[in-house]
Chains A and B, each alone.
Chain A
Amino acid sequence: MTRKQRRLTIIGGALFVLAVAAGLVLNALRDSIVFFSTPTMVAEKHVPPGKRFRLGGLVQPGSLKRGADLAVSFEVADGGAKLPVAYKGILPDLFREGQGVVAEGALDASGVFKADTVLAKHDETYMPKEVADSLKKQGHWKDDYGKPQAGAKPGPVSMREGEKTAAGATQ
């Protein structure tokens, strides 16, 4: 092999690995990304049953019902619309009616949001950023919801955040 051929082999190999990685990323982007939605957005967009998304809003006061064997149901509201949520498992330490919540799961055929993960707000002065932003947009922001943390740019609530500080519940 000449120097040139060897170099070409290495460059070819590198391009091949890069192409494989790009293919993997594009493939993963198609179905492993979870979008964030509020009850209003769900009502407007007609999200199909079974499509996973993150639902954010406030837990409607008086809507929390505990069933047998750790089954719970509650409603998530954002001022414009309400969406019933069903969940089975332990709710996070900081889950409370009237407070912010983010749940991950999908709608079932009857329009109930089946959550498999529930994240509650971070601490007494913080609410999930997605929830705060959408409430503000719709003019339902009240100061007593607490101040969202100011960042250079808003970022999405990560899994860890909810789970580490508020001990988010996973089924």
Chain B
Amino acid sequence: MIAESGHYALVLALALALIQSTVPMLGAAQRDVALMNVGRSAALAQLLFAGLSFIALITLHVTSDFSVANVFENSHSMKPLLYKITGVWGNHEGSMLLWVSILALFGAMVALFGNNLPLSLRARVLAVQAWVAAAFYLFILTTSNPFARLANPPIEGRDLNPVLQDIGLAVHPPMLYLGYVGFSISFSFAIAALIEGRIDAAWARWVRPWTLMAWIFLTLGIAMGSYWAYYELGWGGWWFWDPVENASLMPWLAGTALLHSAVVMEKRNALKVWTILLSILTFSLSLLGTFLVRSGVITSVHAFASDPTRGVFILGILVLFIGGSLTLFAGRATALKQGGLFAPISREGALVLNNLLLTVSCATVLFGTLYPVIMEALDFKLSVGAPFYNLTFGPLFALLLLMVPFGPMLAWKRGDLVAAMQRLLAAGITALVAIAIAWAWARGGSALAPLGIGLGVFVITGAMVDLVERSGLARVPFKTALHRTRGLPRSVWGTAFAHAGLGIALLGIVCETTWNSELISTLHPGDVRNLAGYQIKFDGMTQRQGPNFAEVISTFVISEDGRQLAVMTPSKRSFATRGMSTTEAALMTRGVSQLYVSLGDTTADGGLAVRIYHKPLVLLIWFGPVLMAFGGLLSLSDRRLRVGAPQPARGLRAMQPAE
């Protein structure tokens, strides 16, 4: 019954999406308020039914109803409750259902919080949102029905892929989807604006919070996924330039560019056409990501299910939406009025450069991701890995990071580069000192690592200098400066945190890749090895029975200078249902560095193959993005952006095309 209800709810959601995609659009064209308001109620009802459908699937998984194919294939009655729930989106059908549920959630949020939008714009935005939703409901219902029943219900399920039985699955995909799918709103706003043929600074003001929210989730989602891969895979890597990762990185790069260009549009009423194009491109890249992951074009760990009919269907959606929106853009963009003038050396100029570098580095990632697929079609088999991205994405992003501190220092319209450089002198000197120290400490070695550290320090201190400059700490009494600092808009703090986060992540990346040390060895109980100043003693192995797996736990005692620090217990788990085994690495954190122990096979003479890594400053790689997301959150809470907040008189005037 539950499965049928869930299926029916999904059909109803499709029907509502179809109404929502046509009626408000018609209403907006005929200026019929009643018809336009249909969009609002339809969006809320759509969320209700998509949500019901999703809850139905969760219920089926929790109650282990193996008469449903999806539950049978991905669940097991002995599986812990958490993984029964997270297993819902650990497979193709369920993850698509999560995708549309989040899409419906965003649509409903626009309906709920979009009271300050002009009625016709809101109606059109909701309609466009429903076009996307309808396409994906159709996709699920025709090719990936999660509620399909089995004729002969088996007694036990086939269990979830053991690699996915981890807390990471509970957080990473929903977070990532909130980001991915969140960009659908800026897309809908862009399409609505193109249909409306009117776009001004106020448009950017409305779109920015949504973009920012999606960006925050995507940032956290990517970081979370990276950390998950790091501790789950058992060999200490945290980024693989895998197509599935690139699929999430590309919308992030384009979305970051969009955030910045929307600032220019909001403040200066310039870059309008470009901002619209970026909104379209960002969501197009999200759709492309969905296609890459879900179609099986690039077989990868996340693409567990693949079926050509699905690939062709998503490709159709992709072509329809990207092609359609770009055609609309080409037809209407020239009609949009061009905005303000600015000199190349100015805040706007800096943001244009930021956009250029972000989109071009995004293009290199896109090329690296699609090149093997294209070559495969031409019967050449090759792989594009880290070396390619280090030579292309690397230099472009380094250049971008070098420019980051300059942006906030330049004035709008006409900036003074010399003055900006003078203000950044302290940051520059700090960076040079950092380079010198790193170089002396590493005693020669590659010049790249000290330079990378210097760049990271420059970005961090540059962000701090911006705050100091704005508070006037060097010029006015301390108390006044403190007062001013407190009075700074939250968006200024947000910028500083986000930019500093970039620098911190870079520090972690450089230190981890350069000074990471590892030891691979065969150990017998009682053996001691030394790595990075730690003594690692192998104590022996014990067996344990988990809920749906058998586990062999190895015990390692870690000490430093004879003092015991920790006991680490990496393990091997074997899952009988799938006949698979996983390696659970053990981590010891000291400061922001980690010791990492992972296991290999046991040898014939009773030895155990062990991999031990010492990863200096590795946690900075993920602290950086967390700080960036925090900066985004601060910026989001800025009263200027808060949706529905009472606007000061000045704000009202901004509703008109600025200037």
Q: Which residues of A contact B (CB under 8 A)?
A: 1, 3, 6, 9-10, 13-14, 17-18, 20-21, 24-25, 27-29, 31-36, 54, 66, 69-70, 88-91, 93-94, 123-124, 129-130, 149-161, 163-165, 167-171
CB-based closest 8 A-B pairs: A152-B311, A90-B600, A160-B242, A151-B296, A32-B387, A36-B381, A28-B391, A155-B298
- Chain B's closest residue to A38 (CB) is B381
- Contact for B388 among A17, A32, A168, A169, CB less than 8 A: A32
> Do the beta carbons of A33 and B579 come within 8 Å of each other?
no
> Do the beta carbons of B344 and A10 come within 8 Å of each other?
yes
**B632 shortest CB reach to chain A, Å:** 26
> Do the beta carbons of B343 and A1 come within 8 Å of each other?
yes
- Chain B's closest residue to A128 (CB) is B299
Asked whether any CB of chain A lies closer than 8 Å to the CB of B342, the reply is yes
- A25-B240 contact given A34-B382, A149-B306, A169-B235, CB 8 Å threshold: no
> Do the beta carbons of B163 and A155 come within 8 Å of each other?
no
Query: With the chains together, A54 CA to B380 CA distance in Å?
Result: 13
Interface centre among A149, A158, A170 (most CB of B within 10 A): A158
Which stretch (B37-45, B68-76, B371-379) binds chain A? B371-379
**B257 shortest CB reach to chain A, Å:** 13
Asked whether any CB of chain A lies closer than 8 Å to the CB of B557, the reply is no
- Contact for A10 among B297, B352, B583, CB less than 8 A: B352
- Contact for A9 among B344, B356, B385, B396, CB less than 8 A: B344
Query: With the chains together, A94 CA to B388 CA distance in Å?
Result: 28
What are 9 A-B contacts with C-beta separation under 8 Å?
A10-B352, A17-B357, A151-B299, A153-B376, A159-B385, A160-B300, A161-B299, A163-B233, A163-B240
> Do the beta carbons of A54 and B383 come within 8 Å of each other?
yes
> Do the beta carbons of A158 and B232 come within 8 Å of each other?
no
Chain B residues whose C-beta falls within 8 Å of the C-beta of A163 in the assembled complex: 233, 235, 237, 240
Chain B residues whose C-beta falls within 8 Å of the C-beta of A36 in the assembled complex: 381-383
> Do the beta carbons of A17 and B360 come within 8 Å of each other?
yes
Asked whether any CB of chain A lies closer than 8 Å to the CB of B423, the reply is no
Chain B residues whose C-beta falls within 8 Å of the C-beta of A91 in the assembled complex: 600-601
- Chain A's closest residue to B391 (CB) is A28
> Do the beta carbons of B395 and A165 come within 8 Å of each other?
no
- A159-B383 contact given A21-B396, A152-B295, A164-B301, CB 8 Å threshold: yes
Query: With the chains together, A89 CA to B581 CA distance in Å?
Result: 19
> Do the beta carbons of B382 and A160 come within 8 Å of each other?
no
Query: With the chains together, A150 CA to B381 CA distance in Å?
Result: 17
- Chain B's closest residue to A30 (CB) is B391
Q: Which residues of B contact A (CB under 8 A)?
A: 161, 163, 229, 232-235, 237, 240-245, 295-301, 306-308, 310-312, 315, 341-344, 349, 352-353, 356-357, 360-361, 363-364, 367, 372-373, 376-377, 380-385, 387-388, 390-392, 395-396, 520-522, 578-583, 600-601, 603-604, 609, 611
**A129 shortest CB reach to chain B, Å:** 6
> Do the beta carbons of A90 and B611 come within 8 Å of each other?
yes
Query: With the chains together, A6 CA to B385 CA distance in Å?
Result: 39
Query: With the chains together, A122 CA to B390 CA distance in Å?
Result: 27
Chain A residues whose C-beta falls within 8 Å of the C-beta of B300 in the assembled complex: 155, 158, 160-161
Query: With the chains together, A13 CA to B20 CA distance in Å?
Result: 43
Chain B residues whose C-beta falls within 8 Å of the C-beta of A156 in the assembled complex: 298, 372, 376, 381-383
Chain B residues whose C-beta falls within 8 Å of the C-beta of A21 in the assembled complex: 360-361, 363-364, 392, 396
- Chain A's closest residue to B369 (CB) is A158
Query: With the chains together, A133 CA to B364 CA distance in Å?
Result: 29
> Do the beta carbons of A160 and B383 come within 8 Å of each other?
no
> Do the beta carbons of A6 and B341 come within 8 Å of each other?
yes
- A90-B232 contact given A21-B392, A70-B522, CB 8 Å threshold: no
- Contact for A24 among B242, B364, B609, CB less than 8 A: B364
> Do the beta carbons of A130 and B381 come within 8 Å of each other?
yes
- Chain A's closest residue to B236 (CB) is A170
> Do the beta carbons of B232 and A164 come within 8 Å of each other?
yes
Query: With the chains together, A88 CA to B521 CA distance in Å?
Result: 10
> Do the beta carbons of B580 and A124 come within 8 Å of each other?
yes
- Chain B's closest residue to A31 (CB) is B387
> Do the beta carbons of B233 and A28 come within 8 Å of each other?
no
> Do the beta carbons of A153 and B382 come within 8 Å of each other?
no
Chain A residues whose C-beta falls within 8 Å of the C-beta of B241 in the assembled complex: 159
Chain B residues whose C-beta falls within 8 Å of the C-beta of A155 in the assembled complex: 243, 296-300, 372-373, 376
Query: With the chains together, A135 CA to B174 CA distance in Å?
Result: 39
**B356 shortest CB reach to chain A, Å:** 5
**A20 shortest CB reach to chain B, Å:** 8
- Chain A's closest residue to B380 (CB) is A35
Query: With the chains together, A27 CA to B395 CA distance in Å?
Result: 12
**A49 shortest CB reach to chain B, Å:** 19
Query: With the chains together, A20 CA to B382 CA distance in Å?
Result: 24
- Apart from A36-B382, A159-B385, A165-B301, 12 more pairs, CB < 8 Å: A24-B364, A24-B396, A28-B388, A34-B382, A93-B581, A152-B311, A153-B297, A153-B376, A158-B242, A158-B298, A159-B240, A165-B161
Chain A residues whose C-beta falls within 8 Å of the C-beta of B372 in the assembled complex: 155-156
Chain A residues whose C-beta falls within 8 Å of the C-beta of B356 in the assembled complex: 13-14, 17
Query: With the chains together, A88 CA to B658 CA distance in Å?
Result: 66
Query: With the chains together, A9 CA to B584 CA distance in Å?
Result: 55
- Chain B's closest residue to A27 (CB) is B391
Chain A residues whose C-beta falls within 8 Å of the C-beta of B232 in the assembled complex: 164
Chain B residues whose C-beta falls within 8 Å of the C-beta of A20 in the assembled complex: 396
Interface centre among A1, A13, A24, A90 (most CB of B within 10 A): A90
Chain B residues whose C-beta falls within 8 Å of the C-beta of A88 in the assembled complex: 520
Query: With the chains together, A37 CA to B232 CA distance in Å?
Result: 30
> Do the beta carbons of A164 and B163 come within 8 Å of each other?
yes
> Do the beta carbons of A151 and B392 come within 8 Å of each other?
no
Query: With the chains together, A155 CA to B395 CA distance in Å?
Result: 28
**A108 shortest CB reach to chain B, Å:** 20
Query: With the chains together, A159 CA to B238 CA distance in Å?
Result: 12
- A152-B315 contact given A36-B381, A36-B383, CB 8 Å threshold: yes
**B246 shortest CB reach to chain A, Å:** 10
**B490 shortest CB reach to chain A, Å:** 31
**A118 shortest CB reach to chain B, Å:** 11
Query: With the chains together, A6 CA to B387 CA distance in Å?
Result: 37
> Do the beta carbons of A167 and B377 come within 8 Å of each other?
no
**B143 shortest CB reach to chain A, Å:** 12
